[in-house]
Amino acid sequence: MNLDKICLVIAVCLVANVAGSALHGACETDDDCGTIDTLCHNGICTCKEHFAVWFDSCVALPHPRIACEKKNECHRTLGIKSMCTKKNLCACKPFHHLHQGQCVKNRDLHDMCDHDHQCYCGADCQDKIACIHKNCSCKAGHKPYRTRRCISEHPIVLSVADHQVQLAPIRIVERVITSSTTTINPLVSMIVLSIFLLLR
């Protein structure tokens, strides 16, 4: 076995593992972007309008925007779960969303909840999720998609405006194919690699 070849294969596996879904990662469609409230813009996963970059997530900005110097100024209007960004704009903290002008902690799909407004699956998904039996669940006629989102079970009858949802069933098939090559976890990659090298 040639050490150079092993190093090359390992490098390829590592690059393949990080490709695609993180904020500022490469993408072809919105669906390739795994971070909540991102979309694919010019081949890069980017925060949606009304969201700001905050480390590796996108934080919600109120509209109209609120200028700030210190977080206390944001707390007055958006509540204590808000902060002042480096660009001097009030925003919700990461993993919080705006509900009636207040920042509220996100409860993900299948988290425990007491109220509908706690459940969050992205700005474009809010009408599809609800607190059902104290469990954030997809509303009737919708099903979970890629662990955190809800999509319609009947994409064909949806309006053209709901572009992302319409595409979902096709993307699932593609996802199965691409996930088998790009999102295998490092351990699996290493095992597959070892077997491959041993069998040669």
Ligand X SMILES: *[C@@H]1O[C@H](CO)[C@@H](O)[C@H](O)[C@H]1NC(C)=O
**Residue 175 sits in the site that holds ligand X (CB under 6 A):** no
**Residue 110 sits in the site that holds ligand X (CB under 6 A):** yes
Residue closer to ligand X, measured from CB, 111 or 162: 111
Within residues 4-23, the interface with ligand X by CB under 6 A covers none
Minimum Å gap between C-beta 160 and ligand X is 31
Q: Which two tokens stand for residue 99?
A: 């509900």
Instruction: Count residues near ligand X (CB under 6 A).
Output: 3
Cβ atoms of residues 165 and 152 within 8 Å: yes
Minimum Å gap between C-beta 135 and ligand X is 4
Return the residue of 18, 112, 192, 195 that touches ligand X, per CB under 6 A.
112
Minimum Å gap between C-beta 125 and ligand X is 17
Cβ atoms of residues 21 and 171 within 8 Å: no
Within residues 36-65, the interface with ligand X by CB under 6 A covers none
| Closest residue to ligand X, based on beta-carbon distance | 135
Minimum Å gap between C-beta 112 and ligand X is 4
Binding mask 132-171 for ligand X (x = CB under 6 A): ---x------------------------------------
Q: How far apart are CA 56 and CA 64, in angstroms?
A: 24
Residue closer to ligand X, measured from CB, 46 or 106: 106
Tell me the DSSP string of 52-87: EEETTEEEE--SS--B-SSHHHHHHHH-TTEEE-TT
- What residue type is assigned to position 21 of the chain? S
Residue closer to ligand X, measured from CB, 35 or 135: 135
Cβ atoms of residues 107 and 36 within 8 Å: no
Cβ atoms of residues 97 and 60 within 8 Å: yes
Minimum Å gap between C-beta 110 and ligand X is 4
Q: How far apart are CA 160 and CA 16, in angstroms?
A: 33
Minimum Å gap between C-beta 138 and ligand X is 10
Helices (H), the chain: 3-18, 71-78, 163-182, 186-199
- What residue type is assigned to position 91 of the chain? A
Contact residues for ligand X, defined by CB under 6 A: 110, 112, 135
